[in-house]
């Protein structure tokens, strides 16, 4: 069980994190994350499990557009035209994390946990992307979790990102 996050992470998500880390360890692979709306929760979860957290290489928490651009190289045109919460942004986050780390598999998460002031800022709209070194083009997914509330959207995002990381690891 994850120690610091045990009170907020359901057992199913903890089990999935264990599975992802075990797979990475068995294959001697490193993992990285690029997170916006989850604020580093995925990185925290992957480093909170004793015995296999060494498979985690690094995490990027890029909450603002400036951070996405400066730290992970997300083009300003993507942020201006597609938006920070978009398929293009999620893919660019994953690619940037892969390029700026020693990881073999990365997961990126960007979304809205709460409703925003405009209709485009749909509560629970989250985009994901995974990429792997030497692999095909990044994979992406859009999820509409709805108005579950900030904490539950973030939990659902953790589960989706871990499932996508597991799928990437299964192909290596």
Please tell me the distance from the alpha carbon of residue 43 to that of residue 47, in angstroms, as a whole number: 6
C-alpha 113/C-alpha 135 separation (Å) is: 30
Q: What is the pLDDT of residue 115?
A: 86
Query: What is the dotted CATH code of the domain comprising 11-170?
Result: 3.90.950.20
Q: How many CB atoms lie within 10 A of CB 127?
A: 27
pLDDT digits (tens, 9 = 90+) for 70-111: 999 999 999 999 999 999 999 999 999 999 999 999 999 999
Strands 31-35, 105-111: parallel, antiparallel or unpaired by DSSP?
parallel
Chunk the chain into consecutive blocks of 10 residues (it has 172) and report each block's average pLDDT, rounded to whole numbers: 69 96 97 97 94 95 98 98 97 98 98 85 96 92 95 96 97 90
What is the β-pairing status of strands 31-35 and 56-61? parallel
pTM, rounded to two decimals:
0.95
Q: Is 75 helix (H, G, I), strand (E, B) or coil?
A: coil
Q: CA 28 from chain center: how many Å?
A: 20
């Amino acid at each position: 069980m994850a120690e610091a996050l045990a009170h907020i992470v359901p057992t199913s998500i903890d089990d999935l994190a264990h599975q992802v880390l075990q797979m990475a360890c068995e294959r001697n692979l490193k993992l990285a994350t690029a997170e916006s709306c989850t604020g580093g929760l995925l990185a925290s979860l992957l480093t909170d499990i004793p015995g296999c957290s060494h498979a985690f290489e690094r995490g990027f928490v890029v909450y603002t557009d400036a951070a996405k651009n400066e730290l992970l190289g997300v083009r300003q045109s993507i942020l201006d035209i597609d938006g920070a919460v978009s398929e293009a942004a999620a893919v660019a986050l994953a690619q940037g994390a892969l390029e700026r780390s020693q990881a073999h598999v990365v997961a990126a998460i960007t979304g809205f946990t709460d409703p925003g002031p405009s209709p485009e800022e749909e509560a629970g709209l989250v985009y994901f992307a995974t990429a792997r070194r030497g692999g095909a083009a990044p994979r992406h997914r859009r999820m509409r979790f709805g108005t579950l509330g900030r904490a539950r959207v973030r939990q659902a995002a953790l589960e989706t990102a871990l499932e996508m990381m597991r799928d990437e690891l299964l192909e290596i």
